[in-house]
Amino acid sequence: MIDASFATIFGREAAVTAAAPGRVNLIGEHTDYNGGLVLPLALPLEVRVAIAPRPDATVRAWSANVPEDEARAELTLGAERRTGGWIDYVQAVTSTLAGDGHVMSGFDLAIASDVPLGSGLASSAALLVAVLRGLRSAFMLALTDREIATAAHRAETEFVGAPVGVMDQLVASLGREGTALLIDTRTLDVADVPMPSGVELAVIDSGLRHQHATGDYRVRRDECMRAAARLAVPYLCALGRRDLPRLATLPAPLSGRARHVVTEHLRVAEAAEAMRAGDVETLGRLWLASHASERDDFEVSLPAIDTLVDLAAADAAVLGARLTGGGFGGSVILLCRAGEAAEAAIRVQRAYQTKTGHAGRVLLPGETERQRR
């Protein structure tokens, strides 16, 4: 598919293709920049790229997933400049690789993705990792999967200027479908946590959009750093349950911010344990507690998203639900009884539409999973 698009756009054959998945974070929100645990899962949705090297230093790129008048973009290796457009993600990769001493020529690049852009499923990290994988094989670059993750992270934070943690890039590079990745964001140690049997995931896009690179996300990060400084710890997740009374002595909103981060970190460990034990009821309860904490303590939810989570939680097929991703919009994940996710997601999405007037969209189970049955 992506080879065919490449041939149509550039009038020649692609030399290599590569892909990387989007993700949902099962639990562990805003713990990633506080030295805590996160538990993302690679999705059966992915960004695919096709690449062919060029003899010059020009990069011509095309994406199937942006408005047609923005679909084509160009850059020159060595002259990368941030533009504010999607091409920045490609420039971020080439300039980061050059900075690390990797040698390559220009190339033509086609991109097609079924990870929705800006819905909290980490399309940006999937794009960066897919491009890095494609360039690794096109130019035989010496890069491990872990180095791809950290290069993608530096590309996104330093070049694109999005102050994101390393979770998205790690799971895009190291994640496998059906197995969650428990990541200690302080040490970058990872462990596999298989999805328990008897449950199936659904994802509903609220239709409300976040803006990572700006405003509120930065404010939250800053509040966490201030809370940690006041508590005289290097990062908030160094604190545990017995420190909770101390957090309450912080001024608002820092007390709530710190309480969310510390309790969320504990919930991730409990969730991983519940998944390993196959205790899906506990997992569902932890998701609901996580959402309440995002809503009340960290204040990254929105009233319509709270409605979406409440509607999901009231559905008989749903064991738990929560806002996933950075917040201020984005997607909600539903832990459903196996075999019931597709129907439950449609029921909940319709109820959400009726109640809030926002369309919402079922992202998972997607077309492919629905057809697979």
Task: Name which position in 95, 123, 169, 185 contacts ligand ADP (CB under 6 A).
Answer: 123
Cβ distance to Mg ion smaller for residue 16 or 122: 122
Residue 118 near ligand ADP by CB under 6 A:
yes
Burial code (b: 16+ CB inside 10 Å, e: under 16) for 212-235 equals beeeebeebbebbeebbeebebeb
Draw the binding track, 249-288, toward ligand ADP (x: CB under 6 A; -: no contact). ----------------------------------------
Asked if 65 and 117 count as a contact pair (C-beta separation under 8 A), the reply is: yes
C-alpha to C-alpha distances, 309 to 42, 135, 163, 206, nearest whole angstrom: 22, 40, 27, 10
**Residue 324 partner contact from Mg ion, ligand ADP, none using kind-dependent CB cut-offs of 5 to 8 Å:** none
What backbone phi and psi angles, to 5 degrees, belong to 40? -85, 160
Cα–Cα dist 188/171, whole Å: 11
Q: Which does 62 bind (CB under 5 to 8 A by kind): Mg ion, ligand ADP, none?
A: none
CB 176 within 8 A of CB 204: no
- Evaluate whether 136 touches 123 at the Cβ level (below 8 Å): no
In eight-state DSSP terms, residue 371 is: H
Closest distance of CB 72 from ligand ADP, Å: 11
User: For ligand ADP, which stretch binds (CB under 6 A), given 58-66, 132-140, 291-299, 343-351?
Assistant: 58-66
Stretch that binds ligand ADP, among 59-67, 185-193, 287-295, 338-346 (CB under 6 A): 59-67
- Which of these segments, 32-40, 97-105, 121-129, 197-205, binds Mg ion (CB under 5 A)? 121-129
**Residue 94, binding choice from Mg ion, ligand ADP, none, Cβ under 5 to 8 Å by partner class:** none
Kindly report the backbone phi and psi dihedral angles of residue 90, in degrees, each rounded to the nearest multiple of 5, phi listed first: -75, -45
* Count of residues in the chain: 373
Residue closer to ligand ADP by CB (options 63, 185) is: 63
d(CA 142, CA 136): 7
Which tokens hold the place of 300? 């990254």
Contact mark string toward ligand ADP, 15..54, x via CB under 6 A: --------------------------------x-------
Please report whether residue 121 would count as binding ligand ADP according to CB under 6 A. yes
- For the window 82-111, what string marks contact with ligand ADP as x by the rule CB under 6 A? ----x--x---------------------x
168 assigned to active site: yes
Binding mask 125-164 for ligand ADP (x = CB under 6 A): --x----------------------------------x--
> Which run of H or E residues covers position 125?
helix 123-139
Task: Please pick, among 32, 168, 297, 306, the residue that the annotation labels catalytic.
Answer: 168
Residue 65 in contact with ligand ADP, rule: CB under 6 A: yes
CA gyration radius, the chain: 21
Residue 124 interacting with Mg ion (CB under 5 A): yes
CA distance 248 to 255: 5
